[in-house]
A = this chain, B = another copy of it.
Amino acid sequence: MLHCTGYAANGPTEPLRQIQFEQAAPGDDEVRIDILYCGVCHSDIHQVRNEWHNTVYPSLPGHEIVGRVAEAGRAVTLHAVGDIVGVGCMIDSCRQCEACRGGEENYCSGPNSWLATYNGPGIPRAKVRDGVNIYGRDNTYGGYANSIVVKEDFVLRIPPALRPEQAAPLLCAGVTTLSPMRHWGVKAGDHVGIIGFGGLGHVAVKLAKALGCAVTVFSTSADKQEAAQSLGADFVLQADEQVLQSLAASFDFILSTVPTKHDVNPYFPLLKRDKTLVAVGALEKMEPINNMFTAFHRQSFAGSLIGSIKETQAVLDFCAEHNIAPEIEIINIHAINEAYEKVMDGEVRFRYVIDMASLR
């Protein structure tokens, strides 16, 4: 057992506070990682505040983790002590269902779904018939800590071309936005719309530009225009009816990164016929979709959830190759509660990454 420390909340209205906890030594197929950096995802806030109605306390979030391998189990072959590695939203899956066998662990249909990096399992024992828990753990602790133990095949290689702190947001924000672009066949020359220009949105713009797409950002924040344009994107203030009309039926794909319930109806007129609007940010009931419009253009609304381990490695490698790095602000772990407020207020430019050295 290792004595560890991290930041966790004890209830939905509690601030995150430092806690001590015990961590089992790595098993044969596991590595223990000394955490260097952890990104702050809007999901962390949803989870800590029990907005998905499934939070187990203490809640210790963080799923954009970069660190250094400190110990490796004796069967480990993929990583070595000293390697700079990453951990994203998953740390295990059932490995037996069709999705897992097909390399899409993020859609694991095992009894507990995939094992979430924090607050895992995804489907808790209490909700599974006969109380099954294939992972034997009821509340995993994430990356707002000094250490984590993970099965080696759920650990990503951070390419040397990426700075560790900048690689962190790719592990959730990066793969969550690239995975649907790949799945829906976004290709060079396509016109891609990105709704929301925050942690996910700004990474999505960089990825879509690197894919060779023309990119338009839709945002409610006029003060984000310059940043979007500096990435080579067009910028549309959501309320600008005239501009929206001029963009009618011009998009091949629209990705909504807005992290809360919102109205996607204004965007269907911008999509070409037969195309899809995918929402990755808002994991909740959306505003009602007007099928009078979608039917007339045979359009689809879809959801997409993070990405597989293979896709996560691919986004890291893609970003290293294309010299893509998220725009981050490094913060001290002691500033995490203020950081949450700023994320809620849309003030972050564009992703907070916690320097975990501040914890020690």
In whole angstroms, how far apart are the Cα atoms of A122 and B238 in the complex? 28
Flag the segment in A279-287, A315-323, A329-337 that touches B: A279-287
Number of copies: 2
- Stretch of A10-18, A84-92, A288-296, A349-357 that contacts chain B: A288-296
Contact of A303 among B107, B109, B249, B299 (CB under 8 A): B299
- Complex contacts, A292 vs chain B, CB 8 Å: 52, 283-285
A107-125 interface code vs B (CB 8 A; 1 in, 0 out) = 1010001000000000000
> Is residue A305 within 8 Å, beta carbon to beta carbon, of the partner chain?
yes
Q: Does any Cβ of B come within 8 Å of A300's Cβ?
A: yes
**Residue in B283, B288, B299, B305 whose CB lies within 8 Å of A302:** B299
Contacting pair B279 A291 (CB below 8 A): yes
Q: B295 contacts A109, CB within 8 Å?
A: no
Any B CB within 8 A of the CB of A95: no
With contacts A282-B291, A286-B288, A289-B286 taken as known, whether A296 is within 8 angstroms of B107 at the C-beta atoms is yes
- A276: CB under 8 A from chain B? yes
| Distance from A188 Cβ to chain B, minimum over Cβ atoms (Å) | 21
Query: What are 12 of the A-B contact pairs (CB < 8 Å)?
Result: A107-B296, A107-B298, A276-B300, A279-B295, A283-B295, A294-B302, A295-B304, A298-B302, A298-B305, A299-B303, A300-B301, A300-B302
Q: Which residues of A contact B (CB under 8 A)?
A: 52, 99, 107, 109, 113, 183, 249, 273, 276, 279-280, 282-305
